[in-house]
Amino acid sequence: MNVFMDCPEKAPHFRCVWCEHPSDSLFVRYTSSVVKLQSCGNCGNHVDQYVEYDHLGIFLDILLQKREAYRHVLFNSGYKILWRFLLVVVMADAYANWISWRAKDSEFSEALSVDLLEWEFQKRLLNSALVHLLFLLSSALIGCGRHWLLRKHGSSKVTTSFGFFLNGMIVSLFAVVLKVPAVIWTTSSQLPYSMFWGCWVLQLISSRQVYSILSHTAALEAFLTVACLMGSCLEAVISDVVRSTVVSDLAL
Ligand SMILES: [Zn+2]
């Protein structure tokens, strides 16, 4: 029997989604029609069963916060750079905040000209870009530093670059995009804020998962780190919203 290893990607360094043990391939091809998932040489499980899943199945498992699904995306999906996705995140966040502001101060916003409304959107776009860049850079910097310390003391043997860490944290921002349907589909004036908080909590949980996986830190330490970083960013957002509201009230 002609048994050979087959890799769906050119990059040879896959990792087991259960134990992160390195693997040269994700499945073994016996014949042109017989393919079997590769088994991990360390834990014995399939290296990555998610190669058989469709995108929806992977996304649902990520929503359920399964670390194996995150590891599939981070280590084995072969993505290169996610700046386009980050651009979508920033645009979605700014749009959701802008729509929310218009819904809250509808009388004031309707009295504004198109130029001023556009200016308000640009302010939120700049604010959203700064907040997310600050969060991504600080989390990647702290996470890489923490991982470097663990490697130095022998607690971790895998390497993680700053760019790889940064891309991973961008993945964790998918919850921000969910703010847009939360705004579009809502009819109550109170509902957007509860859904905004829901998206924020989901972002906190997903960022904690990614940070913990990439830095190899404990769940509690990862949670506290990400919560502090997101709290600092949230404070900037809240102060901006409050400032806008105060300005609106004064103008009225
Ligand atoms: Zn394994």
Contact in structure between 59 and 67 (CB atoms under 8 Å): no
Query: Ligand 1 centroid to 82 CA: how many Å?
Result: 27
Determine how many CB atoms are found less than 10 A away from the CB of residue 32: 6
CA of 239 to the centre of ligand 1 (A): 46
Tens digit of pLDDT for each residue in 157-183? 667 788 889 988 998 998 888 888 777
The tally of CA atoms less than 13 A away on the side-chain side of residue 183 is: 19
> Comparing 64 with 31, which gets the higher pLDDT?
64
pLDDT at 238: 54
Mean pLDDT of 203-218: 91
pTM here is: 0.79
How far does the centroid of ligand 1 lie from the alpha carbon of residue 69, in Å?
14
Ligand 1 geometric centre to CA of 179 (Å): 36
Q: Each residue of 118-157: pLDDT tens digit?
A: 888 888 899 889 889 989 999 999 988 888 888 787 766 6
Would you place residue 240 in the very low, low, confident or very high pLDDT band (cuts 50, 70, 90)?
Answer: low
Would you give the end-to-end CA distance of the chain in angstroms? 81
- C-alpha span between 252 and 247 (Å, rounded): 9
Query: How sure is the predictor about 186, in pLDDT bands with cuts at 50, 70 and 90?
Result: low
CA nearest 24: which of 38, 35, 36?
Answer: 38
- Whole-number Å distance, alpha carbon 17 to ligand 1 midpoint, is 7
Which is higher by pLDDT, 249 or 157? 157
- DSSP label of 220: H
Q: Which pLDDT score is estimated for 227?
A: 87
Return the higher-pLDDT residue of 238 and 111.
Answer: 111
Averaged pLDDT, 195-208: 87
What's the gap in Å between 46 CA and the centre of ligand 1?
Answer: 7
Distance between Cα 128 and ligand 1 center (Å): 39
- pLDDT (tens digit per residue) in 70-129: 999 999 987 766 788 899 999 999 988 888 777 776 666 667 777 787 888 888 899 889
pLDDT at 199: 85
Higher pLDDT, 92 or 27: 92
